[in-house]
Structure 1
């Protein structure tokens, strides 16, 4: 009976009208629920042998992440797909379930491609139906106060109240862990993460954040800026929608100009950049009607597919080349800053920003007058320059105690070896000399920034089972930007190593007084160092406790591990016993 009912459901679904999505059946005013979305993809899987609905890992909500794979030749094995040099396009939806256009547009796109028999021969399409499963169940019509529809939608935070588009490096959520599993299994050439904007009002329905050109591999950047982006803008314009770069205003309104958005690795496209994947965050405008936003998303996805099909061979070759270059790359920029001297002219279609009395406060308030549209040239700052650049070591050595770090490196295809016996190894270590810490928690962390390190050469003892990571891999950028403390989204900045910042031993002044006097008597260099410090800091002469502390921290009594970053840099070729 169960088999008969499934067959009956399948026959009903294969009827043209029944293949409509929940969004279409609602008159294009509602977005699909999680259950409706997955059921729809399950029926596609049953109806068409060219698609397969796969599951990976788990999420904080207790459900696995789904991926619908569309493959014309019915081959769904990623290893075989890569051997056949096919290009992979990965589309991620519902990272913010209150921004659901991609959820509905992807369902229609998958159906239309399958129904028309128009799947490409040289491209495999992977669609994550809903990434933040937790958030889509938290459904209302009020959580996005500035948004024009749909009737109801999900919530930005997941069940741990994390914004999952800030979680890609720190991986506090199971969602992020499962996404990274999917990403590193399929290794896409192009990644698209669908969103809805907030901010100013203007005439465009669609805006775009691409992987930033200045921090992308040079070959990939040249292709993206010279071919992909111009064709993307032209292609969607031909489909009825003009597009503009994401409106990241330098002032309250766009009139004074906008800046390019620099996505660090906490964001989805910042993370994918570490793997030489060209990433995009399309952002529809929250005040446009929901059906227009879904339509614009659909047509942008169509445009992506058109270009990826045309350039599939080039995209695969470009990524192979970028991976080889990254494996041999010596210098890595780990922090960037906006070049405020360089800007370009950008034609912008907006609405006049005006003031009128507020009905709430009686004071002047901003509004955009849609009866006064304009087209004008504004400034666009989109050049970032290196702020911190580092020379890579031969290898990093990671004590096995730091298991979360090791787990994430493995998840990201980092090849690791282990010491087979205890060894004292000459390495460079960092002492954390200075850093700033946020006064309030951000995404569950008191994030560090502005890190300064003091390098030192030491012979350190390592033990059998500790990990050695050679920096000669296609994933070098992931290795360097997570393990170097100065990197914007390093594991250090996300508090993975905060335990090293606290001393475990100290002294009692009345006991250490005699010890300190003896140290000064026996070590004239220490006495001279103390005197020099007094000259630099006049207040030190009047502070007995501070003088004892200075002597303590410049003696053998002071613990060598305090503020010492635990991951060492191997700078010279050294024979190690490894497995």
Structure 2
């Protein structure tokens, strides 16, 4: 599985080496020994094998996505479970043997690709994406025949593999960006987060520790709950950081990985994985009638907010039908919200 395809790659030079050098060499070696290499079949629907192949970006939680964020050529090899044990073992042997030969020959090219990717300074990080409505391609795919038969255990038709080779024309389903965050100048982490610093150390992310207090213009991130979603809001503040605070510059080789870990909107952030639990709960503190009466007062006194609310109602049917979302929308934009809610402890230093 080569998930470093240039179409979605974040480390473009490394992905180009994988596509132009690694894939042709390893595929040819595998075929010479009777194996059938192919992209890992991430199916759109596991219960419908011919539904299509998912072809998307990745976060850093798994090895192939991590390699893309860190500028490390990374390949995940998987063997088809319907092949014999002997064939799977020998397939791994051929892959490793050819990979070692190629890396030995291309060591300088790999080093140059890694240096190029780590010197790049992208301005934004994609943090969310969605499936495209139409296939971006159709490709021949070597599948295996299957049927469906009623299972006496589940009481429903279940997939049954028959084991005969069959070539399918498979749609390839791509993805598009739906949300991105701009890189700050740096991230600030308060003292007392040694577990977070240990992770930064493990991943080679550079940072500096303050020896004396320092005052900086930063963005404070407050997280409110809107319906079932936790929504980050930024506020520009002047803040004094005590000695022991840590500044993580964005201008560094591990820029993308640092952002993936420290930006709260990132799906693989430290916040998403359960760090910073001491930050509190993203709760307004207003419930039931209190929140209703508060929202009504805010709309009566703020003509601009009232106008924006009416436009939102007119343009968003789902929002119009969701009473809780309506109340939280007003609360999140009220003056009270700027002094309440869950404050994410990591600050963003931005250019003024």
**1:92-241 aligned within 5 A:** 208-213=1-6, 214-241=8-35
Matched, 1:481 2:227: no
Structure 2 residue aligned with 1:400: 191
Normalised to the residue count of structure 1, the TM-score between the two structures is 0.50
Gaps of 5+ in 1: 1-207, 438-449, 538-545, 574-579
Structure 1 residue aligned with 2:147: 354
Instruction: Please state how far the C-alpha of 1:559 moved relative to its aligned partner.
Output: 8.8
Gaps of 5+ in 2: 311-326
How has the CA–CA distance of structure 1 residues 313 and 431 changed in structure 2, closer, same or farther, with 3 Å as cutoff? same
SS at match of 1:280: coil
Instruction: State how far apart, in whole Å, the 1-side matches of 2:215 and 2:118 are.
Output: 33
SS at match of 2:24: helix
Instruction: State how far apart, in whole Å, the 2-side matches of 1:405 and 1:228 are.
Output: 35
How has the CA–CA distance of structure 1 residues 531 and 310 changed in structure 2, closer, same or farther, with 3 Å as cutoff? closer
Structure 1 residue aligned with 2:40: 246
How has the CA–CA distance of structure 1 residues 506 and 294 changed in structure 2, closer, same or farther, with 3 Å as cutoff? closer
Structure 2 residue aligned with 1:299: 94
2:79 to 284, 288, 300: 284
Instruction: State how far apart, in whole Å, the 2-side matches of 1:399 and 1:315 are.
Output: 37
Instruction: State how far apart, in whole Å, the 2-side matches of 1:535 and 1:299 are.
Output: 62
1:375 to 157, 167, 175: 167
2:346 to 539, 558, 567: 567
Question: Does the 8 Å contact 1:245/1:260 carry over to 2?
Answer: no
Structure 1 residue aligned with 2:53: 258
- Structure scoring higher RCO (CA < 8 A, sep ≥ 6) equals 2
2:206 to 404, 415, 420: 415
Instruction: State how far apart, in whole Å, the 2-side matches of 1:452 and 1:473 are.
Output: 28
Question: Does the 8 Å contact 2:56/2:175 carry over to 1?
Answer: no
CA deviation map 1:367-394 (0-9, x unaligned)? 1223x4322322223x443222222111
CA deviation map 1:130-179 (0-9, x unaligned)? xxxxxxxxxxxxxxxxxxxxxxxxxxxxxxxxxxxxxxxxxxxxxxxxxx
Question: Does the 8 Å contact 2:300/2:306 carry over to 1?
Answer: no
Instruction: State how far apart, in whole Å, the 1-side matches of 2:51 and 2:241 are.
Output: 56
Structure 2 residue aligned with 1:428: 219
Instruction: Please state how far the C-alpha of 1:470 moved relative to its aligned partner.
Output: 1.3
Instruction: State how far apart, in whole Å, the 2-side matches of 1:483 and 1:223 are.
Output: 29
Normalised to the residue count of structure 2, the TM-score between the two structures is 0.79
Instruction: Please state how far the C-alpha of 1:335 moved relative to its aligned partner.
Output: 2.8
Question: Does the 8 Å contact 2:224/2:282 carry over to 1?
Answer: no
Matched, 1:497 2:276: yes
SS at match of 1:282: coil
How many correspondences in the alignment? 327
Instruction: Please state how far the C-alpha of 1:475 moved relative to its aligned partner.
Output: 0.6
